[in-house]
Amino acid sequence: MPDILITLITIAIVVGATLLACSYLIWVERKLSAWMQDRVGPNRVGIFGLLQPMADGLKFLFKEEVIPSHVDKVLFLAAPCISLFTSMLAFSVVPFGPVDEAPWFMRFIIAPQIDIGMVFIFAIGSLSVYGVILGGWSSNNKYSALGSLRASAQVISYELPLGMSILGVALLGGTLNLEQIQMQQVQAGITGWYIWTQPLACLIFFAASMAEANRLPFDLSECEQELVGGFHTEYSALKFGLFFIGEYTHVITISFLTSILFFGGWHLPFIAELDSAYPFAWLVKLLVLLFKVAACIVMMMLLRWTIPRFRFDQLMGLSWKVFLPLGLMNVVLVMTVLQFHWSRVWLFPGSILLFAFAGAIAVSAKQRELQSRPQAHRRVTPPGSSAGGESALAVH
Amino acid sequence: MSMKPTDVEWVEEPEIGFWEATFIPAIISGLKTTLHHVTHYKPVTQQFPEVKPNLPLHYRGVHRLNRDEQGRVKCVACMLCATACPAHCITIEASDAPPEWPDRDKFPASFVLDELRCIYCGMCEEACPVDAIELTHIYDLTGRTRHDLMYDKNKLLNVFDNTKNNPRDPVRTGRGKLGPASKFEELPTVAPATQVQDSDRSAQAASPGVIAPEPKEGT
């Protein structure tokens, strides 16, 4: 079969599967959040509301396309397309299965053997913020503009810790190619998964990529309480749907990256090993990877409905004061270990130590802040009573 | 009275420890809470169109105009409900009662109640001397136009026909009789709209200390 045909088939499968997955992820998220809040969730369209995504999609398609008169039409229409296009494009270098064992009609990666794989993903993925910025700017609405400003500041800030966190993996693996990184973990077995040598990087990567995908608790760019809808305030119908699908595609990409970079990709001991040669092994491996990805996505959803939203200065502080230094120190740690040919086993306690170090700094900083508050020295002792606040309450 | 400095209590943030500073225990305990809700899933949602809510007996919904035992409208067009109505949603046009109705002087030629203006306070029901207007438990009231929800005499009597046999909507007092206002010679004992048990506190004499504070000794 000619290569171009295989590529086209693969693209068709990936786009279709991604769109379907996006719509059903929205269903899963709605159901999960409903369960967490003792609600029922969608249950009207089809059994368990399983046809709800179809109904939503139809609604998006057939709703009136409202383009407000005060918007910049070209950019207004381009923004959601950019958002979806970049998210989809980033997926093209993600290996979504055992690449070497693909069935005859498709590949498990759209663009194989891209040596700059991870750099490509981050470059394209951060382009998706252009969709957000252009959407907010062209809406000609202060809420949208504020939302997109926040989004741009946030994405720029979280790019750095994101890059830092994968730098360790790239150093350990000696490559930026996602297929090779996955293959190294498969060959090394479960102890070779990069989660054991790079736990801190995994944490930073997960948190920072959630921030980059504008997921709660980092969705400051569209927080309803402050900014109505944020950058998509003026968007409706299919254009809003495109933004939404773009966001969910980003989530899927992140989950694939987390699984591949830190959790061994399609590798699972005894079930999906390098030399497992039973029929349809490729399907099992694919399912293993998809299971890991699903676990990541569910984790993100759980976090979304558990943690309250950050304040914007806290968000920035977390990026610049915590994640960036931690990521840098993690890279230094990896470099040190590699340079002096120490055992990689030391990377795990080293990461834990770094994390503890950051915690200790945070505690001392908080204590100093409490000390420096004016209230700390202003406590008034009422005349006639010997002790402080509590007895003052009791007297009056 | 102005505040004194001693009235102000300064509350300080609790000092945070190492684990709080790392966020990890807080996130884990939060996840535990939310996951507990998933695993111990007990929604209280009522699936409305399939499951009807069990409303309390004193629920005040759509009005009805009661009929007496001969099927005539009980209302004697005394205008007390229209006067009592705080929303001014009742419009009555009185006219002389037909000669075959010797027990009353007037009857409502038209009785229009704007269900959209009504605030369902139940004061018409309280004001009515002949127990003609009552509020039923019907709450799912819909209409396609505002005019649909201007309930006239026929509609209100229809509501009575539809609800009189429902155990949730009994004719509250003087069932089957026209009511006390039309019988000036012998006034029947008026029962309270809601039956009060003898054991109920409201039926007993005020006990000392419940309503007014007990007078202090020596004053």
pLDDT per residue as tens digits for the range A65-99 = 888 888 888 888 888 888 888 888 888 888 887 77
Structure tokens at A341: 């040919």
Q: What are the tens digits of pLDDT across the range B101-129?
A: 887 888 899 999 999 999 998 888 888 88
Distance, CA of A32 to CA of A298 (rounded, Å): 9
Helices (H) and strands (E) in chain A, counts: 15, 0
Under 8 Å between Cβ of A326 and A160: no
CA distance B48 to chain A (A): 12
Q: What is the pTM of this model?
A: 0.74
- Closest partner residue to A38 (CB to CB) among B9, B18, B41 is B41
Rounded average pLDDT over B21-37: 86
* Lowest mean pLDDT, pick from A137-141, B136-140, B187-191, B193-197: B187-191
Cβ atoms of residues A262 and A203 within 8 Å: no
Q: How far is A306 from chain B (nearest CA, A)?
A: 6
Å between A185 CA and nearest CA of chain B: 27
Q: Using one digit for the tens of pLDDT, what is the confidence trace for B46-94?
A: 888 888 888 777 788 899 998 887 888 888 888 999 999 999 999 999 9
- Looking up tokens 């006990």 gives B207
* The pair of three-digit structure tokens given for residue B34, joined into one six-digit string: 């939310």
Cβ-nearest to A307 among B9, B18, B27: B27
Q: Could you tell me what percent of chain A has a pLDDT over 90? A: 1
> pLDDT band at residue A378, thresholds of 50, 70 and 90?
low
Q: Grade residue B150 by pLDDT with cuts at 50, 70 and 90.
A: very high
Please tell me what DSSP assigns to residue B213.
P
What is the architecture, at CATH level 2, of domain B63-177? Answer: 2-Layer Sandwich (3.30)
Instruction: With beta carbons under 8 A apart, name residues in chain B contacting A387.
Output: none
Average pLDDT of the residues in A335-364:
84
> Average pLDDT in the B19-24 region?
77
More confident residue, B170 or B208: B170
Distance CA A18, CA A251 (A): 11
Nearest-angstrom CA–CA distance, B14 and A390: 15
In 3D, which of A226, A300, A299, A292 has the Cα closest to residue A259?
A292
Closest chain A residue to B10 measured between Cα atoms? A379
Contact B38 A39 (CB under 8 A): no
User: Rounded mean pLDDT of A130-146?
Assistant: 85
Task: Chain B: give the shortest CA distance to residue A109, in Å.
Answer: 34
Partners of residue B73 on adjacent β-strands: B67
Q: Are A213 and A153 in contact (CB under 8 A)?
A: no
pLDDT over threshold 90, residue A64: no
Collapsed DSSP state (helix, strand, coil) of residue B199 = coil
Q: Which residue of A has its CA nearest to B30?
A: A306
Q: Predicted confidence band at B21 (pLDDT cuts at 50, 70, 90)?
A: confident
Per-residue pLDDT, A394: 40
Could you count the other beta carbons within 10 Å of the beta carbon of residue A384?
7
A355 → chain B, closest CA residue? B22
Instruction: Name which of B6, B22, B38 is nearest A396 (Cβ-Cβ).
Output: B6
Higher pLDDT, A270 or A9: A9
- pLDDT computed for residue A26 by the predictor: 87
- Residue B172 to residues B56, B128, B133, B152, B179, Cα–Cα distance (Å): 15, 12, 10, 22, 11
Q: How far apart are CA B127 and CA A100, in angstroms?
A: 86
Q: Does A363 touch chain B (CB under 8 A)?
A: yes
Closest-CA distance, A40 to chain B, in angstroms, reads 7
Intra-chain end-to-end CA distance of chain B, in Å: 28
Interface probe with A: pick from B1, B15, B31, B46, most Cβ of A within 10 Å: B31
Flag whether pLDDT at B186 surpasses 60: no
| Mean pLDDT score across all residues of chain B | 78
Cβ distance of A366 and B16 shorter than 8 Å: yes
Q: What was the pLDDT predicted at B218?
A: 53
Q: Which residues of A38-54 are buried (b: 16+ CB within 10 A; e: fewer)?
A: eebbbeeeeeebeebbe
From chain A, pick out residues whose CB is under 8 angstroms from the CB of B47: 40
DSSP, res A123: H
Average pLDDT in the A239-259 region?
A: 87
Beta bridge partners of B151: B113
Give whichever of A208-222, A315-329, A380-394, B45-59 has the largest mean pLDDT. A315-329
To test the contact with chain A by mutation, choose from B1, B3, B23, B44 the residue with the greatest count of A C-beta atoms within 10 A, namely B23
- pLDDT band, very low/low/confident/very high, at B219 (cuts 50, 70, 90): very low
Q: Is the pLDDT of residue A173 over 60?
A: yes
Mutate to test the interface with B, among A200, A366, A395 (most CBs of B within 10 A): A366
Residue B199: per-residue pLDDT? 63
Interchain contact, B19 vs A359, CB within 8 Å: yes
Interface residue of B37, B44, B46, B51 to substitute, partner A, most A CBs within 10 Å: B37
> Per the CB < 8 Å rule, is A363 touching B37?
no
Closest CA of chain B from A134, distance in Å: 34
Give the residue, B217 or A239, on which the prediction is more confident: A239
Percentages of chain B per state (helix, strand, coil), in multiples of 5: 25, 10, 65
Among residues A16, A22, A12, A41, which one has the least CA distance to residue A243? A22
Please indicate whether, in this complex, the C-beta atoms of A359 and B41 are within 8 angstroms of each other: no
More confident residue, B186 or A101: A101
Give residue-wise pLDDT tens across range A183-199: 888 888 778 788 888 88
pLDDT at position B60: 85
- For the question of an ipTM over 0.90, the answer is no
